[in-house]
Structure 1
Amino acid sequence: MQEWLLTKNFNADSTRRIAIINIRHFARFLNAIGKKAYIPPSEYNVKAQRYLPYIFTDEELVQLFDSIDSLTNRIDRQEYHPELILPVVFRLELCCGMRPGEPFNLKTEDIDLKTGDIFIRKSKRGKDRHIIVSDDMRDLCTVYNGLAGKREWFFQYPDGGQIPTRWAQWHFSKAWRKSTLFSRGNNPRPYDLRHNFATQTLMRWIDEGRDVMALMPYLSTYMGHVSLEETLYYIHLLPERLKSSPGIDWKMLNDIYQTEEGSDEED
């Protein structure tokens, strides 16, 4: 076992890390049922680096969404028109902090266009949650709903099939390449829109002089985080000028961040 752990060729450090974790759990199970098994010690741990999200400036967001809103379907005339879907999908991710796959798992019954309540079912780790969107976002969803017609999924192909997340990811990359932002050498992902929602919310609270630490649980619940630590991570992404806010308990956050830094999972 020791030789295998040291010599096995994994595609990435994250793959090696997951393999070691699974082996360790399985070995503990075998020992628990009376079968002697070797448990890999901590020296075999692989420290995975957390992905550093791309935080857009206001100017970059304007350029990006100008590009997104101008996307049209030139590949498959039977495909549902991206100019109807993508402006809504990516604004749900930016303005509501939704994960990239969550908009495509919404059924028409999950969105109350009168109240702005959206029911997100069985998202990460099977967790359900409700979010309330702004009036502008609700109005945009209402306009789209009127154009899309009767259907099961809020966003779907003309044949009724569910749209995969990769479809939106491909168009996001296309929109970025179409804009002048591509020449700057950055390569953001749709998930970065969710990260921007979190940091923009924190920045607004700090600018308004609110008690950030007291409001954190609300942001955590809204974003569907399993633990508060996942939400606290975003404070480390704030601009330097905001990190001196007296409303942030930095000692506590530094302790949490050091223990969570090795995580490579999206929140």
Structure 2
Amino acid sequence: MKTPTFTSVFARDLERFIEFKRNMGCYGASRIHYLRSFDEYCTKHQARVLNQETVVGWVEEKRAAQPGSPPSWMSYIRDFGRWMRTHSHPEAYVLSEQWRAGFHRPQPYLLSQSEITDFFAAAEHLASKTPWQWQATAFFGLMHSCGLRTCEVQRLAVENVDLERKLLNILWSKGNRSRRIPFDDQIREVLFRSDQATKSNLGPRRQAFFTTSTGAPLGNTAVGVMFNRIWDQAGLPRTEGGPRARPYSFRHHFAYANIERWMAQGQDVNAMLPYLSRYMGHASLDSTFYYVHTSPDFLKSYAQLSQPYQSLFPEVGFE
């Protein structure tokens, strides 16, 4: 893949940073788009140092140009600042986390069990001339059964899917965090069938576990388009004027379905939440409590759950 051309004083560092991210399995075009915008800003303003004035100046200009947009794109310049500190400029400015303030997550679409059943029935019989024909069930199955982010499934390399030991290695995900998570026999069978079909149709050599017809990793647009195609093929209705189902809805469902299952079993949900947080790759329990608030049945009985005890949770993880 050709490295994009930059023109500012940071050109070489930007090229090396993007190459570093590619080596980590991060191929997103969105990152390149925003870093090119930052590069153009630096060229225009003759910026010479990656300091607060330069970074915040670009962020403010970009926010003014696209008001109301989610601040996820700020992570690209924040990540670049961290990389610069580590590799070339220890004094490089890293965008403050305070820039996340004021962002309100949209209300998620809560999938019903019948919608999930109909969706995967349609995915099993998807008529497509692309690898989605055999990959769709496995791709969206990982989101549903393991609660993965869309980008985490897209970036899965072949060597990071251990079918023998039933483990996934999620490397350098959100916040540059990595984790190893287990999956069950049913998911192993779905992944195995997808892997065998890909090898049979495209050959054994590929980097990404889920791939296009040319062997390239899947793009963001393709995932959304295929989700909508399967949703429509299943005959599922689209909501008017409210939250709409999207691939990320499977991750929401994974979280609140586990919470409600623990509640129904009479388990101590306070004690279980740290495990859920670690499994889903959250930086803190604050993110996990967001899913508590999306669980309608759970919220009725546990309205005060997130109030007094967050600092008392032990550090836990999967070995």
TM-score (norm 2): 0.62
Task: Please state how far the C-alpha of 1:207 moved relative to its aligned partner.
Answer: 0.6
Aligned in 2, Cα 1:171/1:18: closer, same or farther, shift over 3 Å? closer
Give yes or no for contact 1:108–1:151 (8 Å, CA) kept in 2: no
Give yes or no for the alignment of 1:191 onto 2:248.
yes
**Identical-pair percentage:** 27
Aligned in 2, Cα 1:111/1:16: closer, same or farther, shift over 3 Å? closer
Aligned in 2, Cα 1:247/1:207: closer, same or farther, shift over 3 Å? farther
Task: Please state how far the C-alpha of 1:183 moved relative to its aligned partner.
Answer: 4.7
Secondary structure class of the residue paired with 1:215: helix
Letter in 1 for 2:216: G
Task: Please state how far the C-alpha of 1:48 moved relative to its aligned partner.
Answer: 3.4
Where do residues 215-226 of structure 1 align in structure 2 (5 Å cutoff)? 215-226=272-283
Task: Please state how far the C-alpha of 1:217 moved relative to its aligned partner.
Answer: 0.9
Give yes or no for contact 2:195–2:209 (8 Å, CA) kept in 1: yes
Query: How much is the aligned-residue C-alpha RMSD, in angstroms?
Result: 3.3
Aligned in 2, Cα 1:180/1:115: closer, same or farther, shift over 3 Å? same
Find 1:109's aligned residue among 145, 159, 162. 159
Task: Please state how far the C-alpha of 1:70 moved relative to its aligned partner.
Answer: 2.8
Q: Deviations over 1:240-261 (max 9, x none)?
A: x43344696253389xxxxxxx
Letter in 2 for 1:138: R
Secondary structure class of the residue paired with 1:95: helix
Q: Deviations over 1:101-135 (max 9, x none)?
A: 11121111111111211101111122111110111
Give yes or no for contact 2:71–2:103 (8 Å, CA) kept in 1: no
Where do residues 116-131 of structure 1 align in structure 2 (5 Å cutoff)? 116-131=166-181
Find 2:271's aligned residue among 214, 233, 251. 214
User: Structure 1: 5+ residue runs without aligned partners?
Assistant: 23-32, 34-41, 255-267
Where do residues 128-167 of structure 1 align in structure 2 (5 Å cutoff)? 128-149=178-199, 150-152=204-206, 153-167=208-222
Give yes or no for the alignment of 1:236 onto 2:293.
yes
CA distance in 1, matches of 2:234, 2:271: 39
Give yes or no for contact 1:129–1:224 (8 Å, CA) kept in 2: yes
User: Structure 2: 5+ residue runs without aligned partners?
Assistant: 1-59, 78-90, 92-97, 311-319
Letter in 1 for 2:305: D
CA distance in 2, matches of 1:244, 1:17: 31
CA distance in 2, matches of 1:147, 1:184: 35
CA distance in 1, matches of 2:71, 2:276: 33
Task: Please state how far the C-alpha of 1:224 moved relative to its aligned partner.
Answer: 0.5
CA distance in 2, matches of 1:169, 1:212: 33
The corresponding residue for 1:85 is 135
Displaced runs of 4+ in structure 1, greater than 6 A?
15-19
Give yes or no for contact 2:166–2:183 (8 Å, CA) kept in 1: yes
CA distance in 2, matches of 1:177, 1:124: 30
Secondary structure class of the residue paired with 2:236: helix
Q: Deviations over 1:131-155 (max 9, x none)?
A: 1011100111112222221133211
CA distance in 2, matches of 1:253, 1:237: 20
Give yes or no for contact 2:150–2:247 (8 Å, CA) kept in 1: yes
The corresponding residue for 1:172 is 227
Give yes or no for contact 1:156–1:162 (8 Å, CA) kept in 2: yes
Letter in 2 for 1:51: P
The corresponding residue for 2:110 is 55
Secondary structure class of the residue paired with 1:102: helix
Give yes or no for contact 1:111–1:118 (8 Å, CA) kept in 2: yes
Letter in 2 for 1:133: F
Secondary structure class of the residue paired with 1:206: helix
CA distance in 2, matches of 1:84, 1:16: 34
Task: Please state how far the C-alpha of 1:72 moved relative to its aligned partner.
Answer: 2.0
